[in-house]
Structure 1
Amino acid sequence: MTETQISTESFFVPLNKLDRDPKNVRKTYSKEGITEMAATIRADGYRLLQNIIVRKGDKRGRFFVTAGERRRAALLLLADAGEIAKDFPVECKERSEAEATEISIIENMSREAMHPVDEYEAYRVMAEDGKSVEDIAARFGTTETMVRKRLALGRVSPVLLELHRQEEMTFQQLSAFTVSDDHDRQVEVWNSLPSWNCDHRAIRSALQAEAVKATDKRMKFIGGLDAYEAAGGTVKRDLFDDQNGGYALDVALVEKLVADRLEAEAEAVRAEGWKWVEVVPVIPSEAVRMHRVYPSDIPLTEEEQAEEERLEAEYDELVAKIEAGEADDEAEPRTEAIQARLAVLSMAQEAYSPEEIAKAGCYVTMDYYGNVEIEQGLVRPDDEAVEEGVETGGDTAEGDADETDEGGATVPPKPEQRTEPPFKMPALLVQELTAQKTAAIRAELAHNPDVALAAVVHAMLVNIFGSYGGSDYSSLEVTVKSERLETSIADPAACPGIVAMDELKENYGHTIPGKPSELLEWCLEQPTSTLLELLAYAAAKSVNAVQHPHYERKSQRAHAERLAQALKIDMTQWYAPTGENYFARISKAGIKQAVTEAVGEDLALGVLGMEKAKAVEYAERKITGTGWLPAPVRIALTAEQECERMVEATGDDDGVCPFDIDNAPVTGGATFPEAAE
């Protein structure tokens, strides 16, 4: 037989005459894998199911193992254990040296692991023949835990097993169905869950949940129990429930109705022409980092403007009557109707341009309160990169080119020569910046018991006296609720306010008793100073001045602003704008505005002509150390501070201030004392 010929017949070679082939492309084998292979060989009577491929070695009578090195290593392991002889005969087939590398690659690259369902069926056959889990594990060279996991697939419907075979379902999804034995229910759940919300968590939740309360946000979203019953769902009601509540027993149907409504809402949005519309369980975190486009203003018609003015006047009149206790029962429903109509008119004043719709998209989801939430105008990074390329590269529009001086140097155009787009800060960025501000107010308030006490008393008063209008005029949620600011901040670990509050929590955790039943007695034994410190901490945790995209919290943020003034907060100690946390997330028009405010218009003239990355770097370099802050993070000046600023600016100190600084009013009608010096 020549060197290039292939032997089609097998022959036996003593184990101690086989050597590792230097041409074998696979150099690394796990000890666990070799041990498993040895177990399978042992379980099959020390036989190899597949012959080893060899070529002639460097010495007479010896052979290199081109394909089957793991089998050789497993046999050597058995020989070292004394289970087989050192010269155990190994069945081999021979190939030429020229083919060694190619065969090795094919051997290692084309191998495919056994399908999980095939493994389950193989294990099941052995189990039905009376083999124990331990025996099956030994036979296949695997762990008992793995055998039990595969056998658990016996609880899953054959329909779903076949879907996994056809790669229409992941193994993680398939495994989730093992929490139930009801095959019909499993298939029903799989068919009811929408494609965007059918991961293993959603599957387990649908199979394990027993009922959905009538007050659940999903029930509100689909129209309540009546809508659910109309769709064929069964209801369990409490005879002693005066509110006629109950429970929806078919969780899968509830999820399907939710999905159907979200898809219907998404279809309506898609009809507007957006580049993409995606239904999601929650707004994904990456949305915070996306650029956003905004609608342009459209003036109302004369009729609409007249209607708006009439409704605003009627609304103010009704509110005045309600606060004075002179309104009838129809007043409050009427104010709600007016607000709804005004919202429609307000929305009618804005519209996205076709160009913006063509490059941006929307997320459609259900919010915390069971309402439809649509995040519009989001531009994905890839689409934004294309847009930036159009903006910064290639030709310059006529009339927009930079001028040159006599020496040939480029001179930025005068501001009036450019048509600059209006700057509007992204709503999600506003949310983060107001979260940064809230974190700072919390941290400062936690160290100022006097202000905290006044804030808590104020919050209580606006709840007790109806004429104050309720808790909308306090930023404190003294129940005590506390919004997680971490969800609104891209890098919460870098937020000094959050870090400071976490440190306080850890300190107090070592002080107060661990059992709630012991807390009251402990409080009764504490001095006033300790209770005031804890009151300040609790009040601080309840501060919420975060502005969400669809919930501005104007009155609450005005209250928080007054708190910040009373605390004399220096926000530059708590937040500094950088390229990463601010400038990269706004438009170049916004960067230009920031540089202008921080260091002057002259240094901002060239920003619009820069590439985005360079503009971000330039802004960070110029603004760092100036104390400039984005508007949502700033603390407004008090009346006294405004007077001092005016005196400093004009040099006119006649001792008279145009502002009344005694008992400066807080939004909502209450007054707030200045913090103690």
Structure 2
Amino acid sequence: MTDIITIALNKLDTDPMNVRRTYSGQGIAELAANIRSDGYRVLQNLVVRKSDKRGRYLVIAGERRRLALVTLAEAGEIARDFLVECKERDGSTATEISLAENIMREDMHPLDQYAAFCVLADKGMPIADIAARFGTTETIVRRRLALARVSPVLQNLYRDEEMSFEQLTAFTVTDDHGRQEEIWNSLSSWNRSAHTIRHALQQDAMKASDKRIVFIGGLEAIEAAGGEVRRDLFDNHNGGFTTDIALVERLVGERLEAEAEKLRGDGWAWVECAAEYPQDAHRMRRIYPQSVPLSDEQQAELDQLDRDYTELAEQIETDSADDDAESRFEIVSARIEALQASEEQFAPEDTARAGAYVCIDHYGKLRIERGFLKPDDTQTSNEHEGCDDDGTQSLEQKAQAAKAFVISAALAQELTAQKTAAIRAELAHNPDVALAAVVHALLLGTQHIYGSEETCLELRLTSERLENSIKDPAECKGTVALDELAENYGHHLPGNPADLWEWCLGQSRDELMNLLAFAAAKSVNALQLPHYDRKKQRQHADRLATVLNIDMAAWFTPTSENYFGRISKAGIEEALIEAKGVDFASGVAGMKKIEAAAYAVRQIEGTGWLPALVRIADLEPFDGDDEDDKLAEAAE
């Protein structure tokens, strides 16, 4: 039985024997739009069988079409008894028919879709209408139309299944058919991935993800300046590119120069622009800003902002915030940063002889570094450190139960740099422990069952430059001690690196052991970084320091400049409670920040108290086979 009959829509029901049970709401809406655009006609007849209920029919195949018609009827666009053309079949084959319709089907070839969409687009039909007409998305329509950029030769290769769809879409980044065919023919058959094709076609282009484009405001800024931009519809990550490199460089230069002009107006002796932070800057002497106390009004504002910051942060973390909380949080954070920045100012005499660099950071954001002294500047630097508050202090404290505070990432890095310097200096004078540490590290590298994170030694001798993490390296006892040792070795080592090997062969074992200890010491790295806390490496550094019997109090003394002036008053209270008890911390809440820091320095003096990140952590006892027991045995 295959008769075509017309049935009222409200007489059609879902067939329990239909194998397809799940339908997308969006898909039904798109199909309803397609039916609407074609004058409420259904291109393909529904397949039905008689129901046990008199006058009703069950839809074996075409349930999605029925649901789309029901949607239109509920919207009042068609009558509820709208007549639907159906094919009637015997109920005994209902499951087979339903299964065949859902499985035995093939999507339209992309190039055929492209050709069909082009016909409509050439007639002037908007992309949105084409998408609605065929129940698809505007993105799909745009992507199909973008295939017009591809050479007909390559399109035919795709039709003949000699090329994948991903490979075909990679060619849409250019309209040059000759270049497309040249790239395809030049690439080896095993090296024709979509990524390789795009890369070859974009060799003279700059991607939207390039930090220079990000810096000037994206591809939109290039378009606004009259530059040529091409967006790759098939690359969701790239976002597009431009071949107008000269324009990008000009826009970058203009923005850097505009920022540099502002700095020159602040009185700096020189200001230089660079696409990225200059390597020479790492070797230059540097002046740092001086601490400037806030006025009473500013301090009161900062206190209130601190409370607002804490309250908003708690609301956001607990999902109890209103819709405006995040925007208010950003405003509060920006104001706190502005007030904290005002606590550090360069002296006029310093800006008159020092300079600044204006450049782009790794993420495409503006980076300004100030206070550099050129090599020919022989004047003495008056360096003072200011407060580097982490913006998380809370002034509503009770001495009996001080709230937790957060140390800033910069301070955490400096404190662990102090600790690293001390371990380095001690290890340099203990060659036996250094030898054991080096052997331990080498074993980790040669035995692949171990992990390289289990040691704090960086035996490629990639020595972290601690001076970059410490505001006043000249005051770091560990750095000074190791620099003096390096200067002494510098008098004995040959000046020509080519002569170093023969020189080493002529040295005694004791001298080589001393050099080994020095080299190992230079590689110690116990830093905690903002983007990577290096937990396992720092744990090994504590083990190494324990074997060396290091007394960190002999290497680091907390002062207002290197610690207390750079943490919140909650942190100061916590330190005083640890060092001397609750009574000594009870008055901190009523003091100004600068007074609290000076008070802490006086009270902490002579107690041996150290910030947690500088201390040598207590270690759990190790088993007899533990590597650190072997270190201890070597030390003995």
| TM beyond 0.5 | no
- What's the TM-score once normalised by structure 1's chain length? 0.41
- What's the TM-score once normalised by structure 2's chain length? 0.44
